[in-house]
Structures are given as C-alpha cells and as structure tokens.
C-alpha cells in the first residue's frame, strides 16, 4: 500500500536536546513538507522540499533543520534552539510539478518537551 509513514507516534524530549522525526513516503512523490499544528492555529509550514538535495524554509523554520538525501525520506530535526517545540508535527507530500496540488499527509508525531 502506498502512503506516508511517520515515526515515532509520540516523542518525549528533555529541554536542551535535539530530536529527529522521521517521514518516509512510497508514493514516488517529488515534493515533501513538514507542518506544525498547535491548538487553534491550523497548520503552519516549517520546511518543504521540491526535489532531492534541495529544500526551502517555510513560515516558521527557526529552530528546525531538515535534509532530503533520498526521494522517499524527509527527516525533521527539532533543535534546542526551538523555544516551544511541544506540538503535533505532520509530514505531507505531493506528486510534483504539474500536480493537482493535493497534499497527502502522514499520521503525525506528537512531540512533548518535558
């Protein structure tokens, strides 16, 4: 079955620690995205990548980093510089250039900083 997987489902982190969230897709999509969702805030874009080895900052990139070494994978690192990292993180993908702009989402990772 094609889809997007995220792991772990729940993650706890101590203040001052970096943590990496995994996102993998087997849809053969070119573009991948990371969003953060807070209660009452909707989805806010952190980073996105249109092709392998290329990525751009979204609206709230500070304190986060990403890599795109493989088409299937787009891991997000939440660094200690992120002041308020507790949130629900969603990864998404789209087919690519000429796509219908429909984004398909993974199940999310809930990060809690203790």
- What is the closest distance, in whole angstroms, from the C-beta atom of residue 51 to other proteins in the complex? 11
Q: Which is nearer to other proteins, 18 or 59 (CB)?
A: 59
Q: Which is nearer to other proteins, 67 or 104 (CB)?
A: 104
50 lies in the site for other proteins, by CB under 8 A:
yes
Sole binder of other proteins in the list 2, 10, 100, 114 (CB under 8 A): 100
* Omega prior to 8 cis, within 30 of 0: yes
Q: Three-class SS string for the chain?
A: CCCEEEECCEEEECCCCCEEEEEEECCCCCEEEEEEEECCCEEEEEEEEEECCEEEECCCCCCEEECCCECCECCEEECCCCCCCCEEEEEEEECCCCCCCCCEECCCEEEEEC
Sole binder of other proteins in the list 13, 44, 60, 80 (CB under 8 A): 44
How many residues bind other proteins, per CB under 8 A? Answer: 26
Name the site residues for other proteins (rule: CB under 8 A): 4, 31, 33, 35, 40-45, 48, 50, 58, 90, 94, 97, 99-108
């Amino acid at each position: 079955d094609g889809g997007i997987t995220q792991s772990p489902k729940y993650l706890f982190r101590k203040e001052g620690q970096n943590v990496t969230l995994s996102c993998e897709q087997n849809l053969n999509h070119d573009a991948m995205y990371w969003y953060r969702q807070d209660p009452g805030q909707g989805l806010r874009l952190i980073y996105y990548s249109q092709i392998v080895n290329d990525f751009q900052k979204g609206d709230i990139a500070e304190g986060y980093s990403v890599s795109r070494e493989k088409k299937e994978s787009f891991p997000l690192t939440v660094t200690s510089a992120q002041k308020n990292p507790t949130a629900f993180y969603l990864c998404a993908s789209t087919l690519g250039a000429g796509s219908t702009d429909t984004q398909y989402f993974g199940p999310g990772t809930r990060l809690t900083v203790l």
